[in-house]
Amino acid sequence: MQHEIVVGNFPAYRPRRLRSTPALRAMTAETELSARNLVLPLFVRSGTKFRHPVVSMPGVFQLSPDEAVREASLAFKEGIPGVILFGIPDKKDEKASGAYARNGIIQRTVRLLKSEIPQLLVITDVCLCEYMSHGHCGLVEHGSTKTRILNDPSLKILARVAVSHAEAGSDLIAPSDMMDGRVRAIRSALDGKGFEDVPIMSYAAKYASAFYGPFREAAQSAPQFGDRRTYQMYAGNTDEAMREVAQDIAEGADIVMVKPALAYLDIVRRVKDQFQYPTAAYAVSGEYSMIKAASERGWVDERAITIESHLAMRRAGADIILTYSARALAGWLKE
């Protein structure tokens, strides 16, 4: 017996890989990566036939609504069931009024997507940073000694944004602002307007992360002063993530998200094990751009490393992966 070694009186068996054929390996694979688990993020701004490359994210564009429809229908045909929308408004202000305008960029794009591709799952990110002149995710008060984010007053605006998305036809509301109590505020506002059936995917465990760097160029949402550490989580904490997720579930979240993904797979696993809830992971801009930059130099194999890292997210427990690589992955997985 080639694989048996004897230790003392007890036979010990060296763990080994399955004696297998490719068919057996496929049948017994514990984790599957498939386009059906992926969501493609899209950045939209007004205009027509507009496609503006995001320099820090090769292959990603700011799109006008018609171009977003084109991109989404290609993705949908490739087997990607959903998109998540981020808007770049024409004008920013200190109230984020572009975020809830009936004819805002998101509201217009959602209506167009739902009329052109009714089967597509349209997810809308609810946040204020892209719409605020200061780039923060909540209302800001400049006091005489310090500047603060006003948590509770921000909730009213966030709820208003969510309702305006639902009115436009959003299939899933995804608050990413990290204000406390936002899931409850959004849930009750949606229910109050007759949108009891519109689910919420909360960015429940969202870390203050340098991996968001390229996104802030794409969405033009970099904070103009300070940073997001008072409302996003510290990278060293895991118990705090459990409390955040428990709170969001208690407030009515249907799906919980961990963000970023790759550097936080322990959190994805802990969330999945502890709550057994539909769990999403967001492979954020920095994760995407690092792979792009290294593969452009020939230092890593883009295809292999992209598949491997997304497979790892699935293995960690992510049911849904939001990723800029969705279309590339769909193509590679089909081959």
Give the residue with the Cβ less far from ligand PBG, 66 or 240.
Answer: 240
At 164, list the tokens: 């305006």
Min CB(182)–ligand PBG separation in Å: 12
Report the b/e string of 57-96 with b at 16+ CB within 10 A.
beebbbbbbebbbebbeebbebbbbbbbbbbbbeebeeeb
- The answer to whether residues 191 and 216 touch, using CB atoms and an 8 Å cutoff, is no
Identify the burial level of 297 via C-beta atoms within 10 angstroms of its C-beta, where 0-12 means exposed, 13-18 middle and 19 or more buried.
exposed
**Coil, strand, or helix at residue 180?**
coil
Choose, from 92, 95, 206, 292, the residue flagged as catalytic. Answer: 206
What contacts 78, CB < 8 A, 6 or more positions away? 35, 327, 330, 331, 334
**What is the closest distance, in whole angstroms, from the C-beta atom of residue 84 to ligand PBG in the complex?**
9
Is residue 17 classed as helix, strand or coil in its secondary structure?
coil
| Known active-site residue 49 | no
Q: Toward ligand PBG, which CB reaches closer, 18 or 88?
A: 88
Span near ligand PBG by CB under 6 A; candidates 25-33, 123-131, 153-161, 247-255: 123-131
First to last CA, the chain: 39
- Candidate list 284, 318, 320, 329; residue touching ligand PBG; CB under 6 A: 284
Nearer to ligand PBG, 66 or 226 (CB): 226
76/212 with CB nearer ligand PBG = 212
Residues 149-208 that bind ligand PBG (CB under 6 A): 176
Q: Which two tokens stand for residue 111?
A: 């209506």
Name the residue with tokens 């690092």.
290
**With contact defined as beta carbons under 8 Å apart, do 172 and 121 qualify?**
yes
> Cβ–Cβ contacts within 10 Å for residue 222, how many?
13
Min CB(216)–ligand PBG separation in Å: 6
Site string for ligand PBG, 58-97 (x = CB under 6 A): ----------------------------------------
Q: Out of 43, 215, 231, 264, name the contact with ligand PBG by CB under 6 A.
A: 215
Closest CB 95 distance from ligand PBG, rounded Å: 16
Active site residue 259: yes
Catalytic residue among 114, 146, 193, 259: 259
Closest to ligand PBG by CB, 66 or 290? 290
Contact 105, 87 (CB under 8 A): yes
Stretch that binds ligand PBG, among 60-68, 105-113, 121-129, 302-310 (CB under 6 A): 121-129
Name which position in 61, 131, 195, 212 contacts ligand PBG (CB under 6 A).
212
DSSP H helices, the chain, are 22-28, 65-77, 97-100, 105-116, 151-168, 182-192, 213-218, 239-251, 265-275, 285-296, 302-316, 326-334
Q: Which residues ranging from 254 to 273 are in contact with ligand PBG (CB under 6 A)?
A: none
Our CB check for ligand PBG shows the closer of 3 and 158 to be 158
Which residues form the catalytic set?
Answer: 206, 259
Q: Which residues are near ligand PBG by CB under 6 A?
A: 125, 127, 129, 176, 212, 215-216, 228, 284-285
